[in-house]
Each structure stands twice: as structure tokens, then as C-alpha cells.
Amino acid sequence: AIQMTQSPSSLSASVGDRITITCRASQGIRNDLGWYQQKPGKAPKLLIHDASSLQTGVPSRFSGSASGTDFTFTIDSLQPEDLATYYCLQDNTYPWTFGQGTKVEIK
């Protein structure tokens, strides 16, 4: 199975900060990568698909990019409601695999 290595596992930042989360795939997955936001007790929510395509209705402060097997997720100007755990998902090859998650806390 393709391994997705996500980092950091947690981060703390202030409102208005720019934060970055990365996922590295153990092999090439083209741009078949999504980013999800999960708030406590809720189902994950799709934010980004195809590495950089913003899902309809998602604020533009969320973005994604790709470089080879490295994928980056960015929140420009962190907001209080962005408190959550973020996961990447590779949907290139079954079994689809998630990163370990990044818990984002607000200072």
C-alpha cells in the first residue's frame, strides 16, 4: 500500500498566521490527493481535491500544491473556526490511504 507521511502531527498558531502541512507519498500518485478537515465529533469535510482544486464552497484561504510526491496544504490567515485535525488522502491506487493527521490548535 502507498504510505502517506504527514507532518507535523500537531501545530499551534495564532489567528491570522499562515500555516503549512505536508504529505509525502511513498510512490508517485500523480495529483490524486485530497485534503480533509475534521472537527471533533464530526465527519471529515473535503477541502481540496486533485492536489490543488478547491472544493465548492470552501473559503479561498485554503489551498494546496504539489511537487512530485510532496504535497502541501496551506491556510492563509488562520481563523478560530479552523481549529481541527487535517488529513491528506491519496486516491490514486487502492487501498486508498490517509496521512496520520495534523491537529491544528489556536494560540
Partner 1 sequence: QLQLQESGPGLVKPSETLSLTCTVAGGSISSSGYNWDWIRQSPGKGLEWIGSIHSSGNTYYNPSLKSRVTISKDTSNNQFSLGLSSVTAADTAVYFCARVVTVYGPWVPFDYWGQGTLVTVSS
For residue 4, what are the CA distances in angstroms to 10, 14, 35, 83, 95?
16, 27, 12, 22, 12
Q: Tell me the backbone φ, ψ of residue 65, rounded to 5 degrees.
A: -145, 165
Contact 105/14 with Cβ under 8 angstroms?
A: no
Q: Are 73 and 64 in contact (CB under 8 A)?
A: yes
Pairing of strands 70-75, 53-54: unpaired
Joined grid coordinates for residue 57: 464552497
42-61 binders of partner 1 (CB under 8 A): 42-46, 49-50, 55
Residue 19 or 89 with smaller CB distance to partner 1: 89
What is the x/- site pattern for partner 1, positions 78-107, by CB under 8 A? ---------x-x-x--xxxxxxxx------
The region of 19-27, 38-46, 62-70, 76-84 touching partner 1 under the rule CB under 8 A is: 38-46
Toward partner 1, which CB reaches closer, 1 or 15? 1
- Is residue 34 close enough to count as binding partner 1 by CB under 8 A? yes
| In the complex, least distance from residue 14 CB atom to partner 1, rounded to whole angstroms | 26
Minimum distance of partner 1 from residue 4's CB (angstroms): 10
